[in-house]
């Protein structure tokens, strides 16, 4: 760029500046009379025409730059239909033009002949439309969020994999194997659970408990157990399903959970919990029917301890499990598998330990479970519920009672006793808390350990374990892991093939 060009540019720029700073306009205001009806401004010239009371009025003025608000459409430059025509311009004396008179339209919408109804409509109408639009927006947003959440879930539980899980030739065992090797360690995907549950054919009722009925059902030729809760018991159903699906809970000595389903038949909701079926039924049923050998006793006791140790144990890591306390351990809630080992069942009252915050996952109530099996501190309500280990100690007390039920049925040396519930000789058949408390806490009585058990190593060890499960002081009791180790050693000493 040469000097001449630069000079020309400077002149143009200064000219522009000058035009901005000193714009001359026609002015009809009285104070402009002395300046010859002119004014000077840094903003705009404005001309406006109006009809007031039938009289034409032409106004010309200067508007200062700072009054030109909002930018682009200053209020001073707006016309008002039927009232005023306004024109702003930005060159010297540009407002000398004569504007047309504002046109008065008396048709609908002109606003001049509006009655209160029309005025209300004009005000309320747009507000109403705005509300509808906002509502519509909200509905669409929520729908989108839900669809998104659903999509997320489906991505996690991709139904296109359903054929993999539910291929015609798959048995339940295959299915469970698939999930234990490929799954998250917390159970079958929910859509598979639902499909399995809805293709089960119920066969016969096998038991009735506090929360509902237990049925034997058939799925692809195999047996399954179906616990059916009434709709009143939805919370129990939900809680039990939730606990069974705790990550990494699966263990050979814990009842194998298959599916949970809530089926609405129009009138009520059927709540199903599907699990492995064990034809021997509960340990209570089994001991009532059969006596056991020393080997059989150790096998039952060791497997029950293994199940409880796994339940109690916290496993750290992303694929870990929290510590869980059962809170309703008894011979009716332990099932006997075909190979005569135990599977701990009925996890509906269990509590989980959140070790990071050292809290328990639900607000635990003082006394749950079965009165006969309640530990002294539960009967007396002195249990420290903020301390998770107290619940484990209460489980150990109940395990000791279960061991007593088993050991009584041990036919060592040809002697064995008939089946009895713990405290059968001390409390009535359906004891109250008060009756249990008197015996267990006040009189500090425990089930009888016969002297002749001392003559058999296995029964002696079992008796010792029981005593150490029954201490009044929960913290002094054995742990499930300790019991498991003692019984493992006993099985070695007894030359058992386990
Ligand atoms: N998976 C299963 N396989 C075989 N039999 C089972 C199974 N689950 C439960 N049963 C049988 O059904 C019975 C009823 O079980 P349920 O858990 O509903 O009640 P309960 O344990 O007898 O009493 P409670 O309500 O106090 O726990 C059991 O005692 C057992 O005989
Ligand atoms: Mg039960």
pLDDT (0 to 100) of residue 435: 98
pLDDT (0 to 100) of residue 184: 56
Pairing label, strands 351-354, 359-360: antiparallel
The more confidently predicted of residues 317 and 145 is: 317
The CATH class for the domain spanning 3-104 reads mainly beta
328: annotated active-site residue: yes
What does the DSSP 8-state code read for residue 188?
Answer: S
The more confidently predicted of residues 320 and 463 is: 463
Q: 165-204 as b/e, with b when 16 or more CB fall inside 10 Å?
A: bbeeebebeebbebbeeebebbbbbebbbbbbbeebeeee
> 296 alpha carbon to ligand 2 midpoint, in Å?
23
Between the CA atoms of 84, 85, 90 and 92, what dihedral angle is there, to the nearest 10 degrees? -90
| Helix, strand, coil % in the chain, rounded to nearest 5 | 45, 20, 35
Beta bridge partners of 212: 229
User: How far apart are the C-alpha atoms of 157 and 190, rounded to whole Å?
Assistant: 7
pLDDT above 70 for 124: yes
Share of the chain above pLDDT 90, in %: 49
User: How far apart are the C-alpha atoms of 445 and 450, rounded to whole Å?
Assistant: 14
Q: 454-467 as b/e, with b when 16 or more CB fall inside 10 Å?
A: eebebbebbbebbe
Lowest-confidence segment of 25-39, 141-155, 353-367, 417-431 by average pLDDT:
141-155
User: How far apart are the C-alpha atoms of 97 and 91, rounded to whole Å?
Assistant: 12
Nearest to 272, CA basis, from 308, 237, 236, 315? 237
Q: Are 478 and 469 in contact (CB under 8 A)?
A: yes
CATH code for the structural domain at 283-497: 1.10.510.10
pLDDT above 90 for 153: no
User: CB of 280 closer than 6 A to ligand 1?
Assistant: no
**What are the helix (H) ranges across 245-387?**
283-289, 294-312, 376-379
Pocket probe for ligand 1: among 230, 281, 341, the residue whose CB has the most ligand atoms within 8 Å is 281
User: How far apart are the C-alpha atoms of 108 and 129, rounded to whole Å?
Assistant: 20
CA angle 177, 183, 188 (to 5 degrees): 75
User: CB of 327 closer than 6 A to ligand 1?
Assistant: no
pLDDT (0 to 100) of residue 261: 93
Classify the phi-psi angles of 353: left when phi > 0, otherwise alpha if psi is within -120 to 50, otherwise beta: beta
pLDDT (0 to 100) of residue 140: 72
Nearest to 404, CA basis, from 437, 445, 369? 445
Nearest to 105, CA basis, from 95, 118, 117, 114? 114
- Over residues 246-269, mean pLDDT: 90
Per the structure block, which two tokens stand in for 342?
Answer: 């135990």
Residue labelled with tokens 């479970």: 369
pLDDT (0 to 100) of residue 147: 44
- Over residues 351-372, mean pLDDT: 85
The pLDDT confidence band at residue 163, using thresholds 50, 70 and 90, is low
Looking at every residue in the chain, the average pLDDT score rounds to 84
Q: Which residues contact 250 (CB under 8 A, 6 or more apart)?
A: 180, 185, 256, 257
Pocket probe for ligand 1: among 172, 207, 255, 286, the residue whose CB has the most ligand atoms within 8 Å is 207
How far does Cα 279 stand from its chain's mean position? 35
Report the atom number in ligand 1 closest to the C-alpha of 343.
1
Residue nearest to atom 22 of ligand 1 (CA): 209
Q: Are 466 and 403 in contact (CB under 8 A)?
A: yes
Give pLDDT tens digits for 230-257.
888 888 899 999 999 988 899 999 999 9
pLDDT (0 to 100) of residue 407: 97
User: CB of 364 closer than 6 A to ligand 1?
Assistant: no
pLDDT (0 to 100) of residue 195: 86
pLDDT above 50 for 92: yes
> 207 alpha carbon to ligand 1 midpoint, in Å?
6
What does the DSSP 8-state code read for residue 475?
Answer: G
- Over residues 313-324, mean pLDDT: 90
Edge-first strand order for the sheet with 351-354 is 324-325, 351-354, 359-360
The more confidently predicted of residues 284 and 234 is: 284
Give pLDDT tens digits for 328-342.
999 999 999 999 999
CATH architecture entry for 159-276 = 2-Layer Sandwich (3.30)
Q: Are 370 and 394 in contact (CB under 8 A)?
A: no
pLDDT above 90 for 323: yes
Q: Domain coordinates of the chain in residue numbers?
A: 3-104, 119-149, 159-276, 283-497
Give pLDDT tens digits for 172-206.
767 766 665 555 566 788 888 888 888 899 999 99
- Over residues 60-86, mean pLDDT: 80
Lowest-confidence segment of 77-81, 141-145, 279-283, 307-311 by average pLDDT:
141-145
pLDDT (0 to 100) of residue 383: 93
The more confidently predicted of residues 137 and 349 is: 349
pLDDT (0 to 100) of residue 487: 98
pLDDT (0 to 100) of residue 141: 66
What does the DSSP 8-state code read for residue 110?
Answer: S
pLDDT (0 to 100) of residue 237: 92
pLDDT (0 to 100) of residue 53: 73
User: CB of 206 closer than 6 A to ligand 1?
Assistant: yes
Q: Are 342 and 304 in contact (CB under 8 A)?
A: yes
pLDDT above 80 for 21: no
pLDDT above 50 for 129: yes
Active-site residue, selected from the candidate residues 261, 276, 328, 346: 328
User: How far apart are the C-alpha atoms of 272 and 263, rounded to whole Å?
Assistant: 8
CA angle 23, 27, 32 (to 5 degrees): 105
pLDDT above 60 for 23: yes
Nearest to 314, CA basis, from 361, 273, 348, 377? 361
- Over residues 394-421, mean pLDDT: 94
**Residue 38 vs residues 60, 92, 220, 300, 435: alpha-carbon distances, Å:** 9, 10, 102, 113, 111
pLDDT (0 to 100) of residue 15: 37
Residue nearest to atom 27 of ligand 1 (CA): 209
């Amino acid at each position: 760029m040469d000097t001449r060009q630069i000079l020309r540019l400077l002149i143009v720029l200064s000219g522009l500046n000058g035009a901005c700073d000193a714009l001359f306009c026609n002015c009809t205001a009285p104070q402009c009379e002395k300046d010859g009806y002119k004014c000077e401004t840094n903003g705009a010239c404005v001309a406006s025409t109006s009809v007031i009371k039938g009289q034409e009025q032409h106004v010309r003025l200067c508007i200062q730059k700072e009054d030109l608000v909002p930018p682009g459409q200053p209020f001073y430059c707006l016309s008002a239909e039927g009232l005023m025509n306004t024109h702003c311009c930005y060159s010297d004396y540009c407002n000398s033009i004569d504007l047309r008179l504002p046109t008065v339209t008396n048709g609908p919408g002109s606003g001049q002949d509006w009655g209160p109804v029309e005025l209300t409509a004009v005000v309320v109408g747009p507000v109403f439309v705005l509300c509808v639009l906002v509502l519509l927006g909200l509905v669409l947003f929520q729908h989108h969020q839900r669809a998104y959440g659903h999509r997320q879930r489906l991505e996690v539980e991709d139904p296109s994999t359903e054929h993999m899980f539910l291929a015609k030739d798959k048995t339940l065992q295959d299915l469970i194997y698939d999930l234990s090797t490929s799954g998250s360690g917390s159970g079958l995907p929910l859509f598979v659970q639902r499909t399995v549950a809805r293709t089960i054919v119920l066969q016969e009722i096998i038991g009735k408990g506090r929360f509902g009925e237990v049925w034997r059902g058939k799925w692809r030729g195999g047996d399954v157990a179906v616990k059916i809760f009434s709709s009143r018991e939805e919370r129990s159903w939900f809680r039990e399903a939730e606990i069974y699906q705790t990550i990494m809970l699966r263990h050979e000595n814990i009842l194998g959970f298959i599916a949970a389903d809530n089926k609405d038949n129009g009138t009520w909701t059927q709540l199903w919990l599907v699990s492995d079926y064990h034809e021997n039924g509960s340990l209570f049923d089994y001991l009532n029917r059969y006596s056991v050998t020393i080997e059989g006793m150790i096998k039952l006791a060791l497997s029950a301890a293994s199940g409880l140790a796994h339940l109690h144990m916290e496993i750290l890591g992303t694929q870990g499990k929290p510590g869980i306390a059962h809170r309703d351990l008894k011979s009716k809630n332990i099932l006997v598998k075909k190979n005569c080992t135990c599977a701990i069942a009925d996890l509906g009252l269990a509590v989980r330990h959140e070790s990071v915050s050292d809290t328990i996952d639900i607000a635990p109530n003082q006394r749950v479970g079965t009165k006969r099996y309640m530990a002294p501190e539960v009967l007396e309500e002195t249990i420290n519920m903020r301390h998770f280990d107290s619940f484990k100690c209460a489980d150990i007390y109940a395990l000791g009672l279960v061991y007593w039920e088993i050991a009584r049925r041990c036919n060592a040396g040809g002697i064995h006793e008939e089946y009895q519930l713990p405290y059968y000789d001390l409390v009535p058949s359906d004891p109250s808390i008060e009756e249990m408390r008197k015996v267990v806490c006040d009189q500090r009585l425990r089930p009888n350990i016969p002297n002749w058990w001392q003559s058999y190593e296995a029964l002696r060890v079992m008796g010792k374990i029981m005593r150490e499960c029954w201490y009044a002081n929960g913290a002094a009791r054995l742990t499930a892991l300790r019991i498991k180790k003692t019984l493992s050693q006993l099985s070695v000493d007894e030359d058992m093939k386990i």
